[in-house]
């Protein structure tokens, strides 16, 4: 394995205050009270991608798209793919099925109206699809989504789905099928770890990330604009653990991403799916609800 496998570049387009499971910012009614940094931070990323000649998939919050339609058009204009990251950035396992449906359809239609293109990719906030919410995939199939990037195949703070593959597969449901491109894991000292996004990417040094990249056949990244913003404010009331997770490695993250994009090939989700041989992908059926 030489690090020239299937490396997928994705960003979750949300603002610095879109922190999950924190009372101070859970309610979307509170969001307008915080100064936005998403446009400046995202365009810094877009400029880097232009310089490196890389294309990515941006999973956008519908709420952000509605407030900053010019940013969405800039992403599309620079040749990147759009997916949805929900409308209101709420944990899936705390929603009813009807609330989830309303949220994801609102986000999908908002992005489609702004960008003038069909949205067929979804990622749940916080990878919060769990064994208790298999109906998510029925709703996605019904809504016309072709692929999903919501599976975190190990336990985590916001749920996770242990036991599922950490490589792409086709999920068969009663109403149809959907391609699942989960987070990748890496076996390290007897433990499965994640290294290719968010706080994990910021925590590990580049040489360790490079070591794992070179030995991975499939890598799914997930970055946020705030991952590269060392000057972002601190949300009031964060615990020490959450402060560490939010701020560790911010100052060196952009240069680390620069090195990663320079050394490794990456592509958007759409481009990667085209390359997958659908006949050889494993097929999986979850219990039907």
> Model confidence over 211-230: pLDDT tens digits?
999 999 999 999 999 999 99
Q: Is residue 57 part of a domain?
A: yes
| pLDDT for 242 | 82
Q: CA Rg, the chain, in Å?
A: 18
> Which is more confident, 289 or 233?
233
Query: Could you tell me the pLDDT band of residue 2, with boundaries at 50, 70 and 90?
Result: very low
Which of 252, 180, 185 has the alpha carbon at shortest distance from 216? 185
1 domain residue, yes or no: no
**Using CA atoms, how far apart are residues 103 and 277, in angstroms rounded to an integer?**
32
Whether 117 maps to a domain, the answer reads yes
Do residues 125 and 85 make contact, with C-beta atoms less than 8 angstroms apart? yes
Which residue do the tokens 């998510």 mark? 136
- Whether 190 shows a pLDDT value over 90: the answer reads no
Phi, psi of 46 (to 5 degrees): -60, -40
Confidence at residue 288, expressed as pLDDT on a 0 to 100 scale: 47
What pLDDT was estimated at residue 245? 82
State the pLDDT confidence band at 85, using cuts at 50, 70 and 90. very high
CB 197 within 8 A of CB 221: yes
Total domain count, the chain: 1
The CATH number of whichever domain residue 98 belongs to comes to 3.20.20.370
As given in the structure block, the two tokens for residue 97 are: 């099925």
- The confidence score (pLDDT) of residue 188 equals 87
- Residue span of the structural domain in which 83 resides: 6-285
Residue 268 lies in a domain: yes
Q: 285 by DSSP, 3-state: which?
A: strand
Band (4; pLDDT cuts 50, 70, 90):
low
Stretch among 32-36, 201-205, 282-286 having the lowest mean pLDDT? 282-286
**Residue 282: CB partners within 8 Å, gap ≥ 6?**
165, 167, 169, 170
Residue 250 falls inside a structural domain = yes
pTM here is 0.94
- Please compute the mean of the pLDDT values over residues 12-28 and round it to a whole number: 88
Residue pointed to by tokens 């964060």: 238
| Separation CA 243–CA 248 (nearest Å) | 8
The answer to whether residue 185 sits within a structural domain is yes
| 126 falls within a domain | yes
pLDDT value of residue 260: 98
Token digits of residue 219 = 């890598």
Distance CA 122, CA 116 (A): 17
Structure confidence at residue 157 as a pLDDT band (50, 70, 90): confident
pLDDT of residue 67 exceeding 90: yes
**End-to-end distance of the chain based on CA atoms, in angstroms?**
39
Per DSSP, helices labelled H in the chain are: 23-26, 38-52, 62-67, 69-77, 97-115, 135-143, 198-203, 206-214, 240-247, 250-263, 269-275
β-partners of residue 156 are 159
- pLDDT category at 156 given cuts 50, 70, 90 is confident
**5 versus 212: which is more confidently predicted?**
212
Q: Is position 118 within any domain?
A: yes
The residue among 156 and 53 whose pLDDT is bigger is 53
Span 193-208, mean pLDDT? 94
pLDDT at 246: 86
Identify any residues that bridge with 267 across adjacent strands, giving them in sequence order: 8
């Amino acid at each position: 394995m030489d690090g020239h496998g299937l490396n997928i570049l994705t960003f979750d387009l949300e603002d610095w205050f879109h922190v999950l499971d924190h009372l101070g910012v859970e309610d979307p009614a509170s969001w307008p009270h915080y100064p936005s940094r998403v446009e400046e931070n995202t365009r810094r990323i877009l400029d880097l991608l232009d310089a490196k000649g890389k294309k990515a998939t941006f999973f956008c919050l519908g709420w952000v798209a509605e407030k900053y339609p010019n940013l969405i058009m800039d992403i599309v204009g620079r040749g990147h793919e759009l997916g949805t990251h929900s409308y209101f950035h709420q944990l899936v396992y705390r929603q009813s099925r009807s609330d989830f449906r309303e949220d994801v359809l609102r986000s999908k239609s908002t992005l489609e109206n702004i960008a003038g293109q069909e949205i067929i990719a979804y990622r749940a906030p916080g990878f919060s699809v769990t064994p208790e919410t298999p109906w998510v995939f029925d709703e996605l199939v019904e809504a016309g989504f072709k692929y999903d990037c919501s599976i975190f195949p190990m336990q985590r703070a916001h749920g996770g789905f242990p036991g599922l593959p950490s490589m792409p597969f086709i999920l068969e449901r009663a109403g149809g099928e959907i391609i699942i491109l989960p987070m990748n894991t890496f076996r390290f000292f007897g433990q499965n770890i994640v290294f290719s996004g968010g706080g994990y990417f910021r925590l590990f040094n580049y040489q360790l990330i490079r070591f794992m990249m070179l030995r991975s056949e499939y890598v799914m990244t997930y970055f946020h604009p705030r991952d590269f913003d060392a000057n972002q404010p601190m949300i009031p009331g964060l615990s020490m653990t959450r402060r560490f997770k939010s701020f560790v490695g911010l100052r060196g993250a952009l240069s680390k991403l620069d090195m990663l994009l320079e050394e490794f090939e990456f592509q958007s989700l759409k481009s990667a799916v085209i390359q997958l041989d659908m006949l050889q992908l494993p097929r999986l059926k979850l219990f039907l609800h």
